[in-house]
Chains A and B, each alone.
Chain A
């Protein structure tokens, strides 16, 4: 019987590809462990590599303060979608590769001792595409922020809506924007962080709607893919087209922030943007509607002091903050906060 020794094949794939990374910007070879230590920013040229969801959480939150919620959400295949592979196979492969259930992780944590509701995306999971699970997690994070009256932070990293879920993925734009409108009306702050890339339906919904929009240097941020734009128009595109600095220049990003400074910047902003004590009245135009409406204030106060029903049957019964359950006909996500 011929014996094949598999040990010392000088094959290319035997090289662990995750030992070294070549910086696409300055071509420096970077040792991955050092790169991780530097929060995946090239020490030579400052190029920002993409960050996994958990690395992002470690970067932003106080150590050990993160508690994940709704970890059990996973996508279905409502269309029976098959392209070159069935959608469930793609999902399973992505779950194996990343260890995540879907392209977003949400929960609660602290930033310099202040509690926040946070949802971060992971580009490694099917290009960070937004299907029902991502939309649901962002919405629940928003409803949680509203119920607990704590700031909302969403870190985007996504190619856009997930084609495999068809218009149901598109409807996540409506779901998330609607929830954010309620948060805005209630006077609870929302900071949107756009990392590389934030495009398509994610950019055109919750990512762009932050009370404050932050972006990482040189992150690709845009609505239509650059190839689409160039292809349909045949025009030459501006040099930094759809980069964070382009968005900054045109007034859609408040600050372009280096990753090292991101946590500090958010903490600084949160010192100014404190959730308002009484749900705000009126719309974004502020004061377009009556500023004093006693019945509404009393109603909303009454709503907020309803003793909480044990609404989560799913066993995630960590006491300090129950995850916001999907809205039922009786509860609309507004004013479901516990008494303090």
Chain B
């Protein structure tokens, strides 16, 4: 039943996923991409703790990074799902303005990621699988975060997750905003809700840089292929879980129920895999992402350094050839002159 609900990239069910994607391929792709960005950012979208509340029988939250403080933008702890004990980690946006200010709109500081790493190391030591819930516009950009090493925290969290000897299930529930998302989204399997988005930069940021106006955000959103369906095709996401009609916020209970089925399925699939195999497969998963071609010999391109003589010749020669006069012997094209040696 689960397999009917979801598109599985891993087990050859990719065609199924494509069909679903093609079936609701809209007439207005740009509008559709942007609508999904809006849904992913919807203020009433269920957050990490809301989802846990629905799917877990028991939740214990842990606090503090043991170095600086506690960051409420990122929650972490233990939970029990249908009798399976897990460690969880996830960004947490607020439900209203007050909570959003307290939780910094779900944008973690370095201490948030360091708390996450602490809990993930605990999970490894005590043999608990990890479920990570990703919903973040981006890591906190304030200068305090730079001072405390936001880049360092993200890089170390990515590195840690790549080698942890315990199963990791990552779930993109809302916004997957760049490095701040990837920092906790390295997993053996990456699940995304249907209207979740995942991108290397916010569409507004991309538009501001490449189109020089943030008004083109919708165009950028389409160009970056940031919807869950597109990410499934790129292989960045393995499973897309459909949301109830109208989006996850319309029926959070049903959304959580569908997520729970898939998460449990993946936890049970990963549990018997030997840890060495698991970690190797995870390494290979990320090792293989990215498109490039490899040719034996590099294509020969024009040498980068061009002297004054070349430039002058470039200016003069076309005219001379036009006039039918060959360039003077001192400036033959094929010989460098002294000025550039």
- Chain A residues with CB under 8 Å of chain B are 3-7, 14, 16, 19, 52, 54, 70-79, 81-84, 95-101, 131-133, 135-136, 139, 161-163, 165-175, 177-182, 185, 200-201, 203-209, 222-224, 228-229, 232-233, 235, 237-238, 241-242, 246, 250-252, 283, 314-316, 326-327, 329, 332-333
CB closest residue in chain B, given A213: B152
CB distance from A335 to the nearest CB of B (A): 12
Q: List A contacts of B154 (CB < 8 A).
A: 173, 204-205, 223
User: How many residues on B have C-beta within 8 angstroms of the other chain's C-beta atoms?
Assistant: 72
The answer to whether B296 touches A167, judged by C-beta atoms less than 8 angstroms apart, is no
**B162 contacts which of A5, A82, A174, A233 (Cβ < 8 Å)?**
A174
- Within 8 Å of chain A (Cβ to Cβ): is B224? yes
The answer to whether B301 touches A135, judged by C-beta atoms less than 8 angstroms apart, is no
**A177 contacts which of B162, B299, B303 (Cβ < 8 Å)?**
B162
> What are 27 sample pairs from A and B whose C-beta atoms fall under 8 A apart?
A71-B297, A74-B294, A95-B301, A100-B304, A101-B301, A165-B291, A166-B199, A171-B182, A173-B154, A173-B179, A173-B182, A174-B182, A178-B162, A201-B200, A204-B155, A205-B179, A206-B155, A207-B151, A223-B145, A223-B146, A224-B139, A228-B205, A241-B146, A250-B146, A326-B287, A332-B283, A333-B287
- Within 8 Å of chain A (Cβ to Cβ): is B68? no
The answer to whether A79 touches B318, judged by C-beta atoms less than 8 angstroms apart, is no
**Distance in angstroms between the alpha carbons of A208 and B201 in the assembled complex:** 20
**A166 contacts which of B141, B225, B287, B294 (Cβ < 8 Å)?**
B225
Q: List B contacts of A185 (CB < 8 A).
A: 163
Q: List A contacts of B205 (CB < 8 A).
A: 228
The answer to whether B199 touches A168, judged by C-beta atoms less than 8 angstroms apart, is no
**Distance in angstroms between the alpha carbons of A165 and B292 in the assembled complex:** 11
The answer to whether A78 touches B291, judged by C-beta atoms less than 8 angstroms apart, is yes
**B146 contacts which of A100, A174, A242, A329 (Cβ < 8 Å)?**
A242
- Within 8 Å of chain A (Cβ to Cβ): is B143? yes
For the complex of A and B, the 5 pairs showing the least CB-CB separation, nearest first, are A132-B290, A178-B162, A224-B141, A6-B319, A204-B151
CB closest residue in chain A, given B206: A163
**B151 contacts which of A95, A97, A223, A241 (Cβ < 8 Å)?**
A223
**Distance in angstroms between the alpha carbons of A96 and B303 in the assembled complex:** 9
The answer to whether A223 touches B182, judged by C-beta atoms less than 8 angstroms apart, is no
The answer to whether A79 touches B223, judged by C-beta atoms less than 8 angstroms apart, is yes
Q: List B contacts of A95 (CB < 8 A).
A: 299, 301
The answer to whether A73 touches B294, judged by C-beta atoms less than 8 angstroms apart, is yes
CB closest residue in chain B, given A178: B162
Please judge, given known A-B contacts A136-B290, A170-B179, A241-B146, whether A83 and B162 are in contact too, CB under 8 Å.
no
The answer to whether A3 touches B304, judged by C-beta atoms less than 8 angstroms apart, is no
**Interface 1/0 per residue, B272-314 and A, CB below 8 Å:** 0000000010111011111111111111011110001001000
The answer to whether B315 touches A76, judged by C-beta atoms less than 8 angstroms apart, is no
**B179 contacts which of A14, A201, A228 (Cβ < 8 Å)?**
A201
Q: List B contacts of A7 (CB < 8 A).
A: 315-316, 319
CB closest residue in chain B, given A167: B236
Q: List A contacts of B311 (CB < 8 A).
A: 16
CB closest residue in chain A, given B210: A83
Main secondary structure on chain B at its contact with chain A?
helix
The answer to whether B302 touches A83, judged by C-beta atoms less than 8 angstroms apart, is no
Q: List A contacts of B323 (CB < 8 A).
A: 3
- Chain B residues with CB under 8 Å of chain A are 138-139, 141-143, 145-152, 154-156, 158-160, 162-163, 176, 178-179, 182, 186, 198-201, 205-206, 209-211, 220, 223-226, 231, 234, 236, 280, 282-284, 286-299, 301-304, 308, 311, 315-316, 318-319, 323
**A74 contacts which of B158, B231, B295, B308 (Cβ < 8 Å)?**
B295
CB distance from A244 to the nearest CB of B (A): 13
The answer to whether A332 touches B280, judged by C-beta atoms less than 8 angstroms apart, is yes
CB distance from B111 to the nearest CB of A (A): 14
The answer to whether A171 touches B236, judged by C-beta atoms less than 8 angstroms apart, is yes
**Distance in angstroms between the alpha carbons of A250 and B318 in the assembled complex:** 57
**Distance in angstroms between the alpha carbons of A253 and B160 in the assembled complex:** 21
The answer to whether B142 touches A233, judged by C-beta atoms less than 8 angstroms apart, is yes
Q: List B contacts of A201 (CB < 8 A).
A: 178-179, 200
CB closest residue in chain B, given A161: B200
Please judge, given known A-B contacts A14-B315, A205-B155, whether A169 and B304 are in contact too, CB under 8 Å.
no
Q: List A contacts of B301 (CB < 8 A).
A: 95-96, 99-101
The answer to whether A204 touches B179, judged by C-beta atoms less than 8 angstroms apart, is yes
The answer to whether A168 touches B162, judged by C-beta atoms less than 8 angstroms apart, is no
The answer to whether B143 touches A131, judged by C-beta atoms less than 8 angstroms apart, is no
**A78 contacts which of B141, B186, B201, B234 (Cβ < 8 Å)?**
B234
The answer to whether A283 touches B163, judged by C-beta atoms less than 8 angstroms apart, is yes
**Distance in angstroms between the alpha carbons of A73 and B295 in the assembled complex:** 6
CB closest residue in chain A, given B310: A16
**Distance in angstroms between the alpha carbons of A203 and B293 in the assembled complex:** 25
**B293 contacts which of A74, A200, A241 (Cβ < 8 Å)?**
A74
Please judge, given known A-B contacts A171-B236, A208-B155, whether A252 and B200 are in contact too, CB under 8 Å.
no
